Amino acid sequence: MTSPIKVDNLTKRFGEIVAVDHVSFKVRKGEIFGFLGPNGAGKTTTIRILTGILKPDEGKAFVAGYNVVEEPVKVKQRIGVVPEVSNAYVDLSAWSNLMLIGELYGVPKKERVERATKFLKEFGLYQARNRLVRGFSKGMKQRLLLCMALMNDPEILFLDEPTSGLDVESARLVREKIQQYNDDGKTIFISTHNMEEANLLCHRIAIINHGQIAAIDTPENLRLQSMELQYVEVLFNKPIKKEELMHHPEIVKVVPAGNKIRIYTANPSAIIEFVVEFAKKCEMRILSLNTMMPSLEDIFIKLVREHRENDFYRTD
Amino acid sequence: MTFTEQIKRAIAITKKDIKIYYSKGPVIIFGLLFPFFLFLAYTIGREISARELMPGLIGMTVFFTSTSIGPGIIPWETRSKTFERLICCPVEFWAILLGDMFSSVIFGTMISIIPVMFTLLFLGLDLTSFIIIVLSLILASLCFSALGVLLSSYPPTDIPATAMMLSSLVKFPMVFISGIFIPVERLPYWGRVISSISPLTYFTDITRHLILKNGYYMLPLDFLAIVLFTAFFVYAAIKMHERTLPQRIS
Ligand SMILES: Nc1ncnc2c1ncn2[C@@H]1O[C@H](COP(=O)(O)OP(=O)(O)OP(=O)(O)O)[C@@H](O)[C@H]1O
Ligand SMILES: [Mg+2]
């Protein structure tokens, strides 16, 4: 079985900027594949190349079995796209937007009407179907974009930060739907800068920064790899020396941060118990105690550094 | 993906354009009010019969109406990001542009047919001439629509007003060299040379043939010229927009 998405050495430059830098990966059939990276990492540019909107400067990409540069129309016929910014026609109603999209994908009239009705109901837009999109809220627009992306019953869905800017409830609906359509067999490529979202949804995640992929793995493995980047941040009611805390085998290092203390560890729950005991023993009070997950930035720095080192040894 | 399937999708784009762009302010202003007042300015206080006015009026109407929407659509769609949406769809690039051109052909034909009907009903016109005028009107309308779409390709702006203004820089001079206000045969030699590079000259010539029985070029030559200009504008519009396309995606 061929991969629904196969990318080989893809590169795209904008003048001096290398937006996508020799990126290679494969997405498996039926997978939710996450593209995780900060602003400007090259997520949107990659999606635009894969969906036939931009041409790469180097490298190849195959989507749904077709080369995106040589047969873009065939690729486009088989995919659905939710872009980064809403691009429904604001001067048309939700219904007219869906009919237009249906026609542009060659969906027969009867099916067009059936699908549009089904999706609008499913995404809670049926009541608003005859209103102009101009008056839609951000959440409504995003749900409409999903309906539009589904009109051709695509094999593969590309979603560019589909939950960014949405409130908790709308974001959850969108995630549920992504999950549901994945269960129905659609392969999903989703970009996000939200670590939690990637954890929740994706089977595998590619971490991208400055146009380069630093790691591709399951969320569990990525988290394992960056375990030592977790820390417990604690504030006691009086100052202590950091050496006093170093008596626990699971502590990697202790770093003062303002009047607080950061204890890096792979096992935060054990450290919390230890800190509480320690405070009791020394007759101190704990004013605040937080467990911090590594930020995306932390994981990047680590992964990108490792990535470079690996490269270094490989070329040696 | 068959050719007819692509044409169907182009027509879906046309329907969308009709719904959205016909009622936009600048289209009404550049397409209807402008030529109307220009024409008033030309006729008021002159001793010309209604019949003699008609070829110029029809030519100007079809020219301005057919070029009024074309320059605006793609900048508008660039601005609202819907251009990227269209590019995302399984529609060939030429079919997208053709869809846009069709919408202004329909606009141009619908409005310009009014003075032609007027001529038929009140000034006298034989049926054959009427049919030929209508056919040439549709052809000319496609020619000018393609020109309109071509004019929006460079610079690749996302401000419709800018594109429309810049296209006027080409459109207005064209009206003055195309035998609308002064018939070609009364132009000096160099004037006739310049007028021969404007497709509007040939359309006006067709209407002068059929309404005034007084054309300058031979009828078949007029048609051939418009067909060639149309082919060139359509081709150039597709090539130019293909070039500037990446700059419209951001
Ligand atoms: N059309 C363009 N012209 C010039 N530079 C561009 C263009 N599109 C993207 N870039 C640059 O390429 C880099 C990658 O941009 P891209 O939009 O792909 O990032 P992203 O990961 O989607 O970021 P974000 O999270 O902000 O959406 C950035 O440095 C951006 O400035
Ligand atoms: Mg982006």
Could you tell me if the ipTM is greater than 0.85?
yes
At residue B116, φ and ψ (nearest 5 deg) are -70, -45
Q: From CA B23, how far away is CA B41, in angstroms rounded?
A: 26
Which residues of B fall within a CB distance of 8 Å from A74?
A: 1, 90
Contact B158, B79 (CB under 8 A): yes
CA–CA distance, B149 with B72 (Å, rounded to integer): 8
Report whether B171 contacts B63 (CB < 8 A): yes
pLDDT confidence of residue B1: 64
pTM of the predicted structure, to 2 decimals: 0.88
CATH 3.30.70 spans which residues of chain A?
A: 227-293
A56 interaction partners in chain B (CB closer than 8 Å):
none
pLDDT digits (tens, 9 = 90+) for A184-231: 999 999 999 888 888 889 999 999 988 999 889 998 888 777 777 788
Determine how β-strand A32-36 pairs with β-strand A204-209. Answer: parallel
3-state secondary structure B107-166: HHHHHHHHHHHHHHHHHHCCHHHHHHHHHHHHHHHHHHHHHHHHHCCCCCCCCHHHHHHH
Token output for A152: 């051709």
Q: Encoding tokens for residue A185?
A: 């067999």
On the 0-12 / 13-18 / 19+ scale of CB atoms within 10 A, A269 is exposed
Nearest to B249 among A53, A74, A76 (CB): A53
Longest Cα–Cα distance of chain B, Å, equals 58
The torsion defined by the Cα of B131, B133, B139 and B144, in degrees rounded to 10, comes to -150
Contact of B70 with B145, CB cutoff 8 Å: yes
Return the bridge partners of A36, or none: A192, A207
- Strands of A5-14's sheet in order across: A17-27, A5-14, A58-63, A66-67
Q: Of the given ranges (A7-16, A247-256, B241-250), which has the lowest mean pLDDT?
A: A247-256
Interface with chain B: mutation pick from A77, A100, A141, highest number of B CBs within 10 Å: A100
Rg (CA), chain A: 24
Q: d(Cα B12, Cα B99) in Å, to the nearest integer?
A: 7
- List, by residue range, all CATH 3.40.50.300 domains of chain A: 5-218
Q: What is the DSSP string of A118-149?
A: HHHHHTT-GGGTTSBGGG--HHHHHHHHHHHH
Degrees, nearest 5: CA angle A40-A44-A48 = 145
Residue B63 has pLDDT above 60, yes or no: yes
Instruction: Write down the pLDDT at residue B182.
Output: 86
Q: Which two tokens stand for residue A280?
A: 């009791």
User: How far apart (Å, rounded) are the C-alpha atoms in residues B30 and B73?
Assistant: 14
Rounded Cα distance between A205 and A215, Å, is 8
Judge whether residue A65 has pLDDT over 60: yes
Which chain A residues in 101-160 lie under 8 Å from chain B, judged by CB atoms?
101, 103-106
Rounded Cα–Cα distance for residues A104 and B82 (Å): 13
User: CA-CA distance, B81 to A84, in Å (whole number)?
Assistant: 10
Residue-level pLDDT at B42 = 78
State the total domains in chain B. Answer: 1
Dihedrals φ, ψ of B80, to 5°? Answer: -90, 5
- Closest residue CA from atom 30 of ligand 1: A40
Q: B90 vs A48: CB contact, 8 Å cut-off?
A: no
Which residue in the set B9, B19, B81 is minimally distant from A104, CB to CB? B9
Is B82's CB within 8 Å of A88's CB? yes
Neighbour tally for B160: CB within 10 Å: 23
In this structure, what DSSP letter does residue A293 have? P
Alpha-carbon distance A292 to A265, whole Å?
10
Pairwise CB contact (< 8 Å): A48 & B16: no
Instruction: Give tens-digit pLDDT for A196-207.
Output: 888 889 999 999
Of A166, A84, A94, the C-alpha closest to A133 is: A94
Whole-angstrom Cα distance, residue A138 to residue A161? 13
Which residue's CA lies nearest to atom 26 of ligand 1? A39
Q: Which residue has the tokens 């659609």?
A: A186
CA B133 to chain centre: 15
Q: What are phi and psi of A35, to 5 degrees?
A: -115, 105
Select the residue of B8, B88, B90 nearest A53 (Cβ to Cβ).
Answer: B88
What is the rounded average pLDDT of the residues A37-42?
89
Rounded to a whole number of angstroms, the distance from the CA of B206 to the nearest CA of chain A is: 38
Nearest to A87 among B9, B81, B92 (CB): B81
Q: Is the peptide bond before B155 cis (omega within 30 degrees of 0)?
A: yes
Question: To which H or E segment does residue B221 belong?
Answer: helix B219-248
Whether residue A290 has pLDDT greater than 70: yes
Nearest-ligand number for the alpha carbon of B246:
1
The shortest C-alpha distance from B85 to chain A (Å) reads 6
Chain A residues whose beta carbon lies within 8 Å of the beta carbon of residue B89: 76, 101, 104-105
**Closest by Cα among A130, A123, A224 to A180:** A123
Cβ atoms within 10 Å of B250's Cβ, excluding its own: 10
pLDDT value for A315: 43
- With an 8 Å Cβ cutoff, are B20 and A92 in contact? yes
Which residues in chain A are contacts of B15 at CB distance < 8 A? 100
Ligand nearest to the CA of A49: 1
Beta strands A286-292; A66-67: pairing state? unpaired
CATH architecture observed for domain A5-218: 3-Layer(aba) Sandwich (3.40)
**B246/A55 CB distance under 8 A:** yes
Q: So what's the architecture of A227-293 in CATH? A: 2-Layer Sandwich (3.30)
Contact A91 B19 (CB under 8 A): yes
Q: What is the tens place of the pLDDT at every residue in B123-166? A: 989 999 999 999 999 999 999 999 999 999 989 999 988 998 89
Print the domain residue range for B158: 3-249
Other CB atoms within a 10 A radius of the CB of residue B100 amount to: 30
pLDDT digits (tens, 9 = 90+) for A104-138: 999 999 999 999 999 999 999 999 999 999 999 99
CA distance linking residue A2 with residue A122, whole number of Å: 32
A263 vs A81, more confident: A81
